[in-house]
Amino acid sequence: MDFSLSEDQRAFQDTARNFARDRLAPFASTWDQERHFPAEALREACSLGFGGIYVAEEHGGTGLSRLDAALIFEELAAADPSTTAFLTIHNMVAGMLARFGNDEQRERYLARVISGELFVSYCLTEPGSGSDAAALKTRAMPDGNAHYLVNGSKAFISGGGVSDLYVTMLRTGDESARGISCVVIERDTPGISFGKPERKMGWNSQPTTTVSFDNCRVPVANRLGAEGEGFRFAMQGLDGGRINIAACSLGGARACLDAAVAYVKQRRAFGKALSDFQALQFRLADMATELEAARLMVHRAAAALDAGEADTTKRCAMAKRYATDVCLRICDEALQLHGGYGYIAEYQMERYVRDLRVHRILEGTNEIMRVIIARKLLEATP
């Protein structure tokens, strides 16, 4: 088992780190305060190959692994977890288009998604079905042989109103998970509308809205796969999404730990540097240890997904649960070590705490992660 990075991995890790330093870090606070969607910076990231990280080269992507993607997202999120999180969703949907779309759909959409010409959103959650995603009610009814009429609404959609494509889970059959299909809906389709952007605790560089459908007429040709395959597509996308959001947590926590170490070395109290107090040294040691443990879990889960291992879903749930819990705690500890300055926006700690807090909720709450882990454990026990 080799834990070292290859020369190629170090190269794109450095590329991501430099981009984060130059194009995200100087502006992240302003984007957060002004609730600005940084489309130009996201397109620049896509120009570096970060818009289709794990889309195969034959389809125009970078062709990297999920472990490679975790390395990239950690570097980007060390500067701006909110903007990076949107990019992870963009990549997740690009991967779904590449994997589940047909040749015509890939030809129509994929190159423009990978380049950042088109931004994409993932529409699963509804006002009445969050953790119980299979209970979704938004329905697509046949309208002749070539179209669906879509009615219903989706909630908490990242990129609502600014994304160009909405990969949407719809009910085309019975009330079970087998009755759900996956359809690409374009932003200018008559009948689609967007609620006002939510006022949120964090993730302010990306808008979050409801997406509503009122007799929205969508071509059947926009359906990914066959009818009834949507829920399977959604769940397979979530395994990778959980690794992605865990990697974003790693980046945010690492940035806060680095800032805390620098701060306690230069800040003085009672005649000596804060770093000379053993109690604070121990806190830093625990933060660093927990961050490393979380990173190992995330990388192990990513490797399992890349290899198609049987316990991939369990490992992704474990990594997401542990990393998002631990990394939020590290950010909060870093804020505490800054004292009153940690509460001031200039020092950035409070932004990381706000951005990472939602990671424990999305891509399946950490309570649902425990349900998944326990279920997999019990299934494996005779």
Provide the residue ranges of all domains of the chain, joining segments of one domain with +. Answer: 7-118, 121-228, 231-380
Determine contact, residues 156/363, Cβ cutoff 8 Å. Answer: no
- Tell me the pTM: 0.95
pLDDT for residue 382: 72
CATH dotted code for 7-118: 1.10.540.10
CATH dotted code for 121-228: 2.40.110.10
pLDDT for residue 31: 98
Our answer to whether residue 363 is catalytic in this structure is yes
Cα–Cα distance between 291 and 289 in angstroms, integer?
Answer: 5
pLDDT along the chain (382 residues), means of 10: 89 97 98 98 97 95 96 98 97 95 96 97 88 85 94 96 97 91 96 96 97 97 95 89 97 98 95 94 98 98 96 96 98 97 95 98 94 93 73
pLDDT for residue 175: 86
> Domain 231-380 falls in which CATH fold?
Butyryl-CoA Dehydrogenase, subunit A; domain 3 (1.20.140)
Q: Please give the biggest Cα pair distance in the chain.
A: 80
pLDDT for residue 69: 97
Per-residue CA distances from 142 to 37, 180, 193, 215 (Å): 36, 14, 21, 11
Cα–Cα distance between 22 and 27 in angstroms, integer?
Answer: 9
pLDDT for residue 42: 98
Tokens of 288: 């660093």
Determine contact, residues 35/82, Cβ cutoff 8 Å. Answer: no
pLDDT for residue 285: 98
Cα–Cα distance between 22 and 35 in angstroms, integer?
Answer: 20
Pick the catalytic residue from 34, 74, 363, 367: 363
